[in-house]
Amino acid sequence: MHALRFILQGVPCLLVAGESAFVGCGAFDIHTFGRLGVPAAKVMGVSTIEDLLEATIAESNDLARKRGVVEGMSVKAAARLL
């Protein structure tokens, strides 16, 4: 798993990614990634990697749900499924 944080026009963008899936902040359109074949989930209100890792899933796309990632799940638990 890899973590990435960057600032885009003053907005922090964060994600943790595995080989073929990721959990990211609200800046990422997880449904577009789903149409591209990428399982993805998002969290809201995070600004650091630590925040992201301690957050809970706000939404997941169909491919992530097929892997068992659901709303309210911890990011750490979701990362193990993705």
CATH number at residue 15: 3.30.1980.10
Dihedral over alpha carbons 13, 17, 22, 24 (to 10 degrees): -20
State the sign of the Cα–Cα–Cα–Cα dihedral 79, 74, 76, 11.
positive
> Binning pLDDT at 50, 70 and 90, where does residue 1 land?
confident
Q: For 11-44, what is each residue's pLDDT tens digit?
A: 999 999 988 999 999 999 999 999 999 999 999 9
The range of the structural domain enclosing residue 40 comes to 2-81
Residue type at position 35: R
| pTM (predicted TM-score) | 0.92
